[in-house]
Amino acid sequence: MPTMGALHEGHLSLVRKSLAETDVSIASIFVNPIQFNNPSDLKKYPNTIESDIKLLESIGCQMLFNPSSKEMYQSLPNLKMDFGNLDLILEGKFRPGHFSGVGIVVAKLFNIIQPDVAYFGQKDYQQFLVIRNLIQDLSIPIDLVCGEIIREPEGLAMSSRNKRLSPDERKTASVIFRSLTKAKQEIAGKSMTEIKKEAEILLQQSGLRLEYLELADRSDLKLIQQYNPANPSILLIAAYLGEVRLIDNMFV
Amino acid sequence: MPTMGALHEGHLSLVRKSLAETDVSIASIFVNPIQFNNPSDLKKYPNTIESDIKLLESIGCQMLFNPSSKEMYQSLPNLKMDFGNLDLILEGKFRPGHFSGVGIVVAKLFNIIQPDVAYFGQKDYQQFLVIRNLIQDLSIPIDLVCGEIIREPEGLAMSSRNKRLSPDERKTASVIFRSLTKAKQEIAGKSMTEIKKEAEILLQQSGLRLEYLELADRSDLKLIQQYNPANPSILLIAAYLGEVRLIDNMFV
């Protein structure tokens, strides 16, 4: 499974899934510069390589690929990838160029490692769909597996960015999970406009700023205004606590 | 070597090169719909699969991959590839979307066939650089080989599109080769403006319409206004004979 390090229980659950389902598990740790649209986000991205290696060893991961930037990029790639609608909405809209950088680095890692199965987390659900798209559109002979979201006791989705939050802030940030849960409970009876307004207020009361909360089709993330229980859907959210941008999602 | 069929001596020279240099040679024949910006060009693209197979057998090519459109594209790809400057000049400029379609189908073929070496012809030199870019930017573990241009006795570069020309028109179209040769001879002493003007007149006298004639850096096709013998360069040309678009190039 490709990671950017700063490993947490979310990553480890993917490694455990791979250990259970395959012969050899390979994790990669590479903080990919070309997927950061915000340079200060790249600069502040946590680097915990020593403890990452210990964690991977402790659960029995057989191999680690930890290349340098120079090994991955002799020069900056000329190629850009455009994933159509997936690039225009949600993370694609708020992080221009992000998925091109993700697509290129994942294609590179696939070509270097040549795995039979690749594990990605549901927490970055739009990224998961981008990779699914990449695999399908380029006929890459890899099975893609989606691992479930692992959460802190209070509900905050595990993320490397959580390392930039204090223990108190992590509790505060669990309001994101509570907003999602509330939205899911109310989605059959209320409009998305009402639901967004309520989430915005709930988040504000805890000092968070809502960037987006959307209901979308689970297969392609086309945005939906009116919930239909017949169609598999997903609620997706992004919010800021101070300077730290956090995302989460929930199937409905 | 990936081809779109309608095989000629140019393709066969690539197969022979592969037969001499590798253990097993695989040709693919697939007329890739997503690289045609002009639908009537796709419709008129020659289909000579029976004689193609005979030609490949006659020179000892071991395998042919000849998929249907449905096998290659369950649905139209969502992904688009952008090759930066290569998409903005020459073929990229006059055939918008063309190299995205080329990049995607070649990446697919690479993933399906998984060759160690891939052979492309110099006649489509910009395409060759696009593939070089693709291989480098996605770390594809394939060696890329460029085969030289094969010409008709009068000088016209071999091309599947030549099948749309009568024998007389093929002789007429050799003015493209003569224009390139003349440009190469005069490039040290004349400006590109003069050289283009002369080529335009020469082509016009034979009933051809010049689309472009440019001097460019051989490594990245950045256009050059003033020839410098210290830098490896290339002259590239596109011209129409009736509705048939023909391209050619020459190292200088």
Task: State the ipTM, two decimals.
Answer: 0.94
Residue B152 included in any domain? no
Residue A89 included in any domain? yes
When pLDDT is averaged across residues A111-138 and rounded to a whole number, the result is 98
Q: How many structural domains comprise chain B?
A: 2
Residue A116 included in any domain? yes
Residue B154 included in any domain? no
Q: What pLDDT score was predicted for residue A41?
A: 87
A208-217, strands of its sheet edge to edge: A223-224, A208-217, A233-241, A244-251
Same domain? B83 vs B181: no
What percent of chain A has a predicted confidence (pLDDT) above 70?
Answer: 100
Number of neighbours of residue B222 by Cβ within 10 angstroms: 11
When pLDDT is averaged across residues A58-79 and rounded to a whole number, the result is 96
The domain boundary residue, chosen from B147, B171, B187: B147
Question: Does the distance separating the beta carbons of A79 and B81 come in below 8 Å?
Answer: yes
Determine phi and psi for B204, rounding to 5 degrees.
-55, -40
A236, β-bridge pairs: A214, A249
Contact status of A144 with chain B (Cβ, < 8 Å):
no
The domain boundary residue, chosen from B121, B147, B173: B147
Same domain? A12 vs A110: yes
When pLDDT is averaged across residues A60-83 and rounded to a whole number, the result is 97
Same domain? B89 vs B205: no
Q: What pLDDT score was predicted for residue B41?
A: 87
Which residue ranges of chain B lie beneath pLDDT 70? none
Q: Which residues of A touch B140 (CB under 8 A)?
A: 111
Query: What pLDDT, in 10s, does the model give residues B196-251?
Result: 999 999 999 999 999 999 999 999 999 999 999 999 999 999 999 999 999 999 99
* Rounded Cα gap, residues B5 and B233, in angstroms: 30
Same domain? A94 vs A21: yes
Same domain? A165 vs A142: no
Catalytic residues of B: 11
Question: Does the distance separating the beta carbons of A78 and B84 come in below 8 Å?
Answer: yes
Contact status of A112 with chain B (Cβ, < 8 Å):
yes
Query: What pLDDT, in 10s, does the model give residues B114-127?
Result: 999 999 999 999 99
Residue A227 included in any domain? yes
Residue B66 included in any domain? yes
Residue A155 included in any domain? no
Contact status of B118 with chain A (Cβ, < 8 Å):
no
The domain boundary residue, chosen from B93, B125, B147: B147
pTM: 0.95
Q: Residues near B40 by Cβ (< 8 Å), separated by ≥ 6?
A: none
Query: What pLDDT, in 10s, does the model give residues A147-181?
Result: 999 999 999 999 999 999 999 999 999 999 999 99
A49-59 vs A9-21: helix crossing angle, rounded to 10 = 40
Band (A111; pLDDT cuts 50, 70, 90)? very high
Residue A112: give its domain's CATH number: 3.40.50.620
Question: Which stretches of chain A are assigned E, i.e. beta strand?
Answer: 2-3, 26-29, 63-65, 80-82, 117-121, 143-147, 208-217, 223-224, 233-241, 244-251
Choose the closest CB to B79 out of A74, A81, A141. Answer: A81
Number of neighbours of residue A231 by Cβ within 10 angstroms: 11
Same domain? A6 vs A130: yes
Domain containing B59: what range? 2-147
